[in-house]
Amino acid sequence: MPIIIIIDKNGDLREKKIEDDIEPDELYKVVKLKNGDDFENEASWEVDVDDKTYNISLFAKTTGKAGQENKYELPPPVDDILYFGKSILINEDGSDLTLRMWHKIYEALFGGFEDIGDEDSDEEEEDLTGVELTKEGYMKDSFIADSDDDNEDYIDSDDEYQEGEIIEGKRKRNSKRKLSEEDMNSESGDDSDYFVEKNESDSEEYE
């Protein structure tokens, strides 16, 4: 009773034992398909791993409904082909194909994977002995801009917006209204108050 690998639609892998006498054209029954239409041998790989040659076959469907796409990333040359529903991986010689074996084969088919952790472990940590740190953990002699420093390029005043500028999907306009005679006869007597800037609260919707 050999072991095969089933690739679920969500990309998960699991082992399953099947009957010795099951034929390749009957593998659709293992994944509980109604018939074997379009469930065929879509790819084969020959690869040497641990001084042994493996011949692996993929049985899958290339047609299906939207939302039924299989999310597992297969090795080249079928890494850009879309399959639907469950798929099956078997060892062509009829022997077991376990998850442990497949992971080694998978890595070999992709040309091996780099261990990113090794590169990080080789880097030496910076010696901070005797270095004064701020409460945020930065060195005091480092150039770190304080969060409450004034930024000359940052405009925080509504008065700085230009006429017709879009603000949150709306167009903001400035208008001038003329003061009444009562306002003009006020005690200030300052001609500069003759016109008063007014931001219209009812902003015109941007078209």
What pTM value is reported for the model?
0.56
Asked which of 21-25, 76-80, 128-132, 159-163 is least confident by mean pLDDT, the reply is 159-163
Share of the chain above pLDDT 90, in %: 49
**Residue 78 domain-assigned?**
yes
The answer to whether residue 176 scores a pLDDT higher than 60 is no
- My answer on whether 10 and 74 are in the same domain is yes
pLDDT in tens, 81-119: 999 999 999 999 999 999 999 999 999 999 865 555 555
Spatial CA neighbour of 58 closest among 94, 21, 4, 101: 4
Quote helix, strand, coil % in the chain, to nearest 5.
15, 30, 55
Same domain? For 197 and 104 the reply is: no
Q: How far apart are CA 72 and CA 88, in angstroms?
A: 12
Shared domain for 14 and 78, answered yes or no, is yes
Token pair 């409904």 in the structure block, residue? 65
End of a domain among 70, 94, 109?
109
Is position 47 within any domain? yes
Q: Is residue 41 part of a domain?
A: yes
Query: Regarding predicted confidence, which is higher, 23 or 186?
Result: 23
The Cβ of residue 102 has, within 10 Å, a number of other Cβ atoms equal to 20
Last residue of a domain, one of 78, 94, 109: 109
Least confident of 19-23, 49-53, 164-168, 188-192: 164-168
Q: Give the pLDDT mean for 20-29.
A: 91
Residue 111 pLDDT: 86
Tell me which residue range forms the domain holding 175: 163-205
Cβ contacts of 63 within 8 Å, gap of 6 or more: 38, 84
Q: How many domains does the chain have?
A: 2
Domain boundary among 109, 125, 142: 109
Quick one: 168 and 102 in the same domain? no
> Do 96 and 12 belong to one domain?
yes
pLDDT band per the 50, 70, 90 thresholds, residue 21: confident
Asked if the structure places residue 115 within a domain, the reply is no
Task: Please check the confidence at residue 61 and state whether its pLDDT lies above 90.
Answer: yes
Q: End-to-end distance of the chain based on CA atoms, in angstroms? A: 70
Is the residue at 61 inside a domain? yes
- Residue 130: inside a domain, yes or no? no
Q: Quick check: is 82 in a domain? A: yes
CB 28 within 8 A of CB 114: no
Is 34 part of any domain?
A: yes
